[in-house]
Structure formats: structure tokens, C-alpha cells
């Protein structure tokens, strides 16, 4: 007779997370990345999204806000 399998929380934990990408506080896209993706890699991937590039084109990025596994927000000059 077999025993019930033991519960392993690591098996039910999500490995990928959806990260919202904002420009000046407005949602402009999303990324699906590994949960432990470092900030530099996440920002790099966000900047590759064509829709995001359109909003950043010709603007200076004054600040980048990164909340791990949640959001990336590019704060730009308005010009």
C-alpha cells in the first residue's frame, strides 16, 4: 500500500510572474519574467517592448522605479 505524497510548497510556487510596465504611472504593457529576475535584466526586457519604446522615444528617463515581481515604472521628461 502506498503512502500519500508529502506536500512540497516549492512545487506549487509560481516560477514566472507578470510584471506591469508603466510610463509616467500609466500602464503601457506587461512582462512575463522569472520571479528572481534582477532589476537590470527586467528593465532591459521592458525597454525591448515595442509599445514601451514608442512612449520612451525622444524622452529622457528621469527615474526608473522597480518593485520586484510587481511593476516597472519609467518616469520621463514630458518633452
Q: Is residue 2, in this structure, part of any structural domain at all?
A: no
- Which phi and psi angles does 59 have, rounded to 5°? -120, 150
Listed in sequence order, the residues at least 6 apart from 78 whose beta carbon sits closer than 8 Å to its beta carbon are: 59
Mind listing the pLDDT tens digit for each residue in 58-75? 999 999 999 999 999 999
Instruction: Give the pTM.
Output: 0.80
Give the pLDDT band of residue 79 (cuts 50, 70, 90).
low
The answer on pLDDT for 47 being more than 80 is yes
Indicate which CATH number applies to the domain containing 21.
3.10.20.590
Q: Is residue 4, in this structure, part of any structural domain at all?
A: no
The percentage of the chain sitting over the pLDDT mark of 70, rounded to a whole number, equals: 99
Write out the residue range of the structural domain in which residue 67 sits: 9-76
Burial zone of 79 (CB within 10 Å; 0-12 exposed, 13-18 middle, 19+ buried): exposed
Amino acid at each position: 500500500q502506498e503512502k500519500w505524497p508529502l506536500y512540497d510548497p516549492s512545487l506549487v510556487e509560481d516560477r514566472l510572474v507578470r510584471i506591469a510596465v508603466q510610463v509616467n504611472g500609466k500602464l503601457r504593457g506587461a512582462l512575463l519574467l522569472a520571479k528572481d529576475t534582477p532589476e537590470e535584466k527586467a528593465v532591459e526586457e521592458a525597454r525591448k517592448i515595442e509599445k514601451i519604446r514608442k512612449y520612451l522615444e525622444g524622452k529622457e528617463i528621469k527615474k526608473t522605479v522597480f518593485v520586484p515581481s510587481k511593476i516597472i515604472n519609467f518616469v520621463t521628461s514630458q518633452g
